[in-house]
Each structure stands twice: as C-alpha cells, then as structure tokens.
Amino acid sequence: MSQGKPVFSAAEEKTLKGWTTRFPYPAMGLIEALRQVQEWRRHIGPAEESRLAEMFEVPLRRVHEVATFFPLFTQKPTGRRRIGICRGLSCELGGSDKAVRALKEKLGVGPGETTPDGEWSFEEMECLGACEMAPAAIVNEELVGAASEETARRIVSDPGKDFRTKTPVGPEPKEHRLLTKHFGEPGLETLEGYRKVGGYETLKKAIEMGPAKIAEEVKKSNLRGLGGAGFPTGMKWGTVPAKEKMPGPRYVVVNSDESEPGCFKDRVLIENCPHGLIEGLLIASLVIGSEDSFIFIRGEYKRQHLILEKALAEAEKAGLMGRNILGSGLSCAIRLTRGAGAYISGLDTALLETMEGKKAWPRQPPPFPTTHGLMNRPTVVNNVETLMMLPPLLGIGGEAFAAMGTAKCGGTAVYSISGHVEKPGVYEFPMGTPLRRIIEAAGGVRGGRKLKAVIPGGASTPVLTASEIDVAMDFDSLRGVGSFLGAGGIMVLDETVNMALAARNIERFLAHESCGQCTPCREGSEWTVRILERILEGQGCPEDIPNLNRTGENITGKVICALGDTVGSVTRAMMKKFPEDFKAGVAAANEKAGAAA
C-alpha cells in the first residue's frame, strides 16, 4: 500500500533490499535493515515498519515485535548522538552515578531524554563489556572509555575523540599463557603480524588432519565451553548429525554477544587478535562441515566489528576464507551479523532467534540447536574464547592441553577481573588456578582495603565471601561450592560495598533484560527489584527476606532459560552470606515504626 510519498528514497530502498540477499534466508537481514533505518531516521516509525515487512516478506507484527524488543531501536527519535553510561555492577561501584550527574549538568537533560537541539540523547545502559574502564561510556555504539566526571564532560565537548586506555593482559611471566601468548606484539591484529607468530599454520595442519582427527583431539583435550555453560566442546560437536543422516547446510555461529556484567575478555581477545578467532572458526567449520559460518557480535562492539570486518577481508583476499580455502577444495564463508542491545541474545537459542530476524525469546529444547538450530538446520554455537583455543590446542595436542588444567577442565581460561582491584584487566591462567592467585595478579584489592566479596564468573554467578577465595577456578570446583565459573568475569568487592546494593544492581539488570516469555522470571525479577529497593530505602518489612528466599526458590529451575535461574539465585546467595546488609534495611523501618508508635 504505497500511497503518496514513498517511505524510503530509491537509494535507501536499494541498501535495504541488499539485506534481503546478504544471508542465506531473507529474514536474517531484518535486524541489520532495522539498524540502518534507526541510523537514518533515528527511530523506527510505523511506515518504515510496514515497508520493511513487505520487503522481507514477514508479517508487520513481527517487525514491530523486533523493533520494540531490542533497546537499540526506538519508536521516538533519538538525538544524533546517543551517549550511554554503563550501570553494570563494576561501573556502579566505579562511580557511574557521578558520571550521570556530570552529564546531566553538561547536557541539561536527564537519562532517557534528548537535548532540545536534537544533538544528544542520554541513556543509562546495561553492561557494555568494558568493566575495566569503569564507569564505561559509549557513544553511538562505540566505546569511548572510562567516564570520570571530567571525561564525561569532555566526551560531549569533544565528540569523536577516543578516551580508551589499553586493557592490561596478564599475567607476567607468560609461561602458562596459551591463547594470549603473543598479545602485545606489534601488528598482531593484522594478517601479516599474525602469520609472523605462526598464525594459520594450524589451519593447514587441520585441513590435513581432517574432521575426525580434530574432533578426537578436542575430545581428548577436555576443552569446555568458555561462554558460560561449560559444556564439553567435543561432546557438543559430537551431537551434530552426520552429513549422511541429515544432508543439507549446517552452520557454526560464534557467540560474541558478551553482555554478562563483569565479562569483557571476548572484546579484548578480538581487539588484540581477530585472526585468532577466524582461524579457530575455520577449524571448527571444517569439523562440522559448515560452509556458511557466522560471527554474531553485540551491537555495542562496533569498533570490534570493524576490526573483524577488516581481518575477514584480509583473510578472504589471502584465500584463507571463502571458496577453496588454501586450495583444499573446502569452502567456508564467514559473515558478520550484529545484535541490537539485548543481553538475552547471548543465550544460544535466543541468539539463533535474533539471527533469524525475530525477537530473542529462547527456545525450549528438545530439539537442541545442534540438530535443529539456525533455520532448523544443525548449528553449533561456540564462544569466541572457545574457538580461539583451537589453534593453540591443536598446536600442543589434546593430551597436553588437558594436562594443563584439571581432571575434567582442560587447558587455560581467560578471566576478566574488575571492580575494586588495582589493575582490572584480562588474565589467562590454567583451569583450576585458585581465585586468590588471580586477584593477586591483578594487584590485589584497590587501595589496600579489605576484601568483602568476590563474584567469580559474572553477575549471574552466586557470590563468594572473602574466606572462600582459595577455591579453584574451574567449572567443577566452583559448582562444588555452590557457584559457577560462567564466563570467568571476576568482580571484586571491598568492605565499602553494601551487598543489598549489589543485589539490587544485578537484579535490576536481570529485570531489564528479562525477555518476558515465562512468567516466573518476568514477574519475579521485577518484584525482587522492588523489594530490594524498599530495603535499600530502609522501608523493608520482616516478611521481605523470607519472601525473597521463597520467591527465589520458586524461580530457579522452573523457568525456560538460565537468565531466569539467575534471578532466583543471585539475591538468595547474597542474603545467605551477608545477611546483615539486608537486615539493616528491615531494621531501619522497624526503628522508624517503633519511634513513631
């Protein structure tokens, strides 16, 4: 129904139509097309949605669902520049509220508002994957660095300037560093620099070994999924049906959505060594038999997206990616595709939904993605770090890799560490290293203060007390003490932290990111936040703590995905280990009531 002026100009139509053919299925380009419209028009209106629905041959309802689900898309026009201050736990502890106040003064508008001249929109955002630069600031999807009050003002007066600092990668000495061994060497992010340190040699070796042998090595190596689930990679690959059983396309998707508060290692890995990821992905694609592989990267990693684009172009030009790789007859095209600001897109089935151009509601296996994944084809979703382990793994051999770690977790892991430490950054240690050691490598607690609590694997993992930091940092040991390794995002909290505040921060994040599909998470997360806010205001009632416990138990394990499980377990763990911080909020109310009576 085109009446009157067409919605898009001829050139715009051409660009948008391009997205219908860029991917194997037209609807897969919908989110990129929406991105484009958001960029041009600074919002997505009903006319634009209608036209896109026609173009991509999907119902209008679906386009509207996607446009209202992801935080990147707005229904009302934003400013030309969108500045966001992260309110993740490390950033809140790092002073994000001060940055917000400074920006409010400088811009004259508050969070969620746009300046009258239409130049700036100001938002509080969830974890941007830059916890070492707390409090992190982002402008139009490009990280700009740590926003102290001063820097926040300068970002506005000097837009386009990059205030980022180089993220420390450790530890020194490098003896146990497998993946990050060459980080810091000049030009590592270029093809030439990567080749200089032996890059793509393993790819050649892998082509000769063939899929079966590689799979064997990976199984032997005890490599576990390093995106959070910790599932043995070899076993996951093994569930993909053989080509004879299920002929047709199959895919490998790199999960570079990294939105867990406390985790930023994937970002650092891509910044330092994009070709490492490409090589790992090519090896995995070989094993699975995927000729079309994808890197799904979160929208807020725009700079990293450009780095990967450049590296992919280099690789393709050198015949390392695309058709007939290194003359072997094997083909694998790698394409980049971006998320649109939702944490839940980092969950494998929700990621696939996002890639298919739908809102990111997780699926309920069975069937599992390895048999029915992207567009119902066998799909393996692996984390960035997991795939980047493949070249070094094959380099030293599966057995040696396994020997570096613990009995069931092979090799090393790259841990992000942030919060109240001297040198927040990324540190690679063998699996099973005591947590204490990693904190020491990061310079210990900032300012020589006393340690109160450590969150070992990212905001969704149950907290540990200061006396529990001798635990070995691997999947099984942490499970043994009632927590998880997750994606290894360590957050260090010193004695100044009120754990009720930390709980509220994380639950608020979860309530904001809950996809809303299932009732316990959707209602329970928001309710938990409200109770915690009352407690923080000193308005808690005696039933609040038992209610939080009871609700938490009623959510964990009864929901569709792990985000929901987390909603129920985070606060319960904090209340169990730091009850005084919560009781204080209840006591204050009772005092007031007592005084008034």
Partner 1 sequence: MSDKKMISLTIDGKPVSVPEGTLVIEAARQLGIKIPHYCYHRGLGNPGNCRICACEVEGAPKPIQMSCRTIAAEGMKIHTSSPNARRFQSSSLEFHLDNHPLDCPVCDQSGECKLQDYYMQYGLYESAVREDKLHKGKRIPIGPHVMLDQERCILCTRCTRFTAEVTKTHELGVFGRGHREVVDLAPGRALDNAYSGNVVDICPVGALTDRDFRFKVRVWYLDETESICPGCSRGCSIYVHTNTKRPWHNEGRRVARLKPRENPEVNGFWICDEGRYGHKNLDEHRLGRVMRLKPRPEDLSWSAVLDEVAREIKEGSAAKGAEGLAVVASGMLSNEDWASFNELFVRTLKIKRFLFGPEPDQIGAEDDFLRRKEKAPNLRGGLELGFGREIKSLSWDELAKSIESGQTWGLYVVERDPARAWGTARAKALLERLDFLSFQSPFKGEAGDWAHYRLPATAYVEEEGHFTNFEGKAQKYSKALEPLGLARPDWQIFDDLRSRFMEGEGSSGRREKAGALA
Tell me which residues touch partner 1 (CB under 8 A): 46, 49-50, 59-62, 64-65, 68-70, 342, 359, 364, 511-520, 522-527, 530-531, 534, 541, 543, 547, 550-551, 554, 557-560
52 contacts: CB under 8 Å, gap ≥ 6: 16, 30, 33, 34, 37, 63
Query: Given the complex with partner 1, which of 41 and 213 has the nearer CB atom?
Result: 41
Query: Given the complex with partner 1, which of 384 and 561 has the nearer CB atom?
Result: 561
DSSP state for residue 444 in the 8-state scheme: S
Query: Given the complex with partner 1, which of 238 and 557 has the nearer CB atom?
Result: 557
Q: At its nearest, how many Å lie between partner 1 and the CB of residue 538?
A: 14
242 contacts: CB under 8 Å, gap ≥ 6: none
Task: Dig out the tokens for 521 from the structure.
Answer: 């998470």
Q: At its nearest, how many Å lie between partner 1 and the CB of residue 519?
A: 5
CA proximity to 319, closest of 196, 395, 209, 207: 207
Query: Given the complex with partner 1, which of 132 and 300 has the nearer CB atom?
Result: 300
Helix (H, G, I), strand (E, B) or coil at 246: coil
Helix (H, G, I), strand (E, B) or coil at 248: coil
Query: Given the complex with partner 1, which of 49 and 266 has the nearer CB atom?
Result: 49
Task: Dig out the tokens for 138 from the structure.
Answer: 């982002």
The single residue listed with the structure tokens 């985000």 is 563
Query: Given the complex with partner 1, which of 316 and 533 has the nearer CB atom?
Result: 533
Q: At its nearest, how many Å lie between partner 1 and the CB of residue 516?
A: 4
CA atoms within 13 A on the CB side of 54: 10
CA proximity to 83, closest of 172, 171, 24, 161: 161
Find the radius of gyration of the CA atoms of the chain.
24
Query: Given the complex with partner 1, which of 78 and 525 has the nearer CB atom?
Result: 525
Q: At its nearest, how many Å lie between partner 1 and the CB of residue 592?
A: 15
Query: Given the complex with partner 1, which of 230 and 425 has the nearer CB atom?
Result: 230
Q: At its nearest, how many Å lie between partner 1 and the CB of residue 64?
A: 5
Q: At its nearest, how many Å lie between partner 1 and the CB of residue 244?
A: 23
| Distance from C-alpha of 395 to C-alpha of 221, rounded to nearest angstrom | 12
Q: Is the C-alpha dihedral spanning 37, 38, 42, 46 positive or negative?
A: positive
Q: At its nearest, how many Å lie between partner 1 and the CB of residue 404?
A: 31
Could you tell me whether strands 412-419 and 489-494 are parallel, antiparallel, or unpaired per DSSP bridges? Answer: parallel
Query: Given the complex with partner 1, which of 52 and 404 has the nearer CB atom?
Result: 52
Query: Given the complex with partner 1, which of 146 and 518 has the nearer CB atom?
Result: 518
In the sheet with 333-338, reading across from the earlier edge strand, the strands are: 333-338, 292-297, 251-256, 379-383
| Distance from C-alpha of 269 to C-alpha of 95, rounded to nearest angstrom | 26
CA proximity to 288, closest of 331, 237, 245: 237
47 contacts: CB under 8 Å, gap ≥ 6: 7
Q: At its nearest, how many Å lie between partner 1 and the CB of residue 262?
A: 21
Query: Given the complex with partner 1, which of 243 and 550 has the nearer CB atom?
Result: 550
Q: At its nearest, how many Å lie between partner 1 and the CB of residue 123?
A: 15
Query: Given the complex with partner 1, which of 197 and 541 has the nearer CB atom?
Result: 541
Q: At its nearest, how many Å lie between partner 1 and the CB of residue 517?
A: 5
Query: Given the complex with partner 1, which of 60 and 330 has the nearer CB atom?
Result: 60
Task: Dig out the tokens for 159 from the structure.
Answer: 């837009």
Q: At its nearest, how many Å lie between partner 1 and the CB of residue 24?
A: 23
Task: Dig out the tokens for 466 from the structure.
Answer: 């200061």
- The Cβ of residue 87 has, within 10 Å, a number of other Cβ atoms equal to 25
- Whether 35 and 340 have beta carbons less than 8 Å apart is answered as yes
Q: At its nearest, how many Å lie between partner 1 and the CB of residue 187?
A: 42
The single residue listed with the structure tokens 């635990």 is 471
Task: Dig out the tokens for 296 from the structure.
Answer: 């799904």
- The Cβ of residue 473 has, within 10 Å, a number of other Cβ atoms equal to 26
The single residue listed with the structure tokens 């660095």 is 145
Q: At its nearest, how many Å lie between partner 1 and the CB of residue 156?
A: 29
Find the helix packing angle between 499-513 and 519-536, rounded to 10°.
150
- The Cβ of residue 353 has, within 10 Å, a number of other Cβ atoms equal to 21
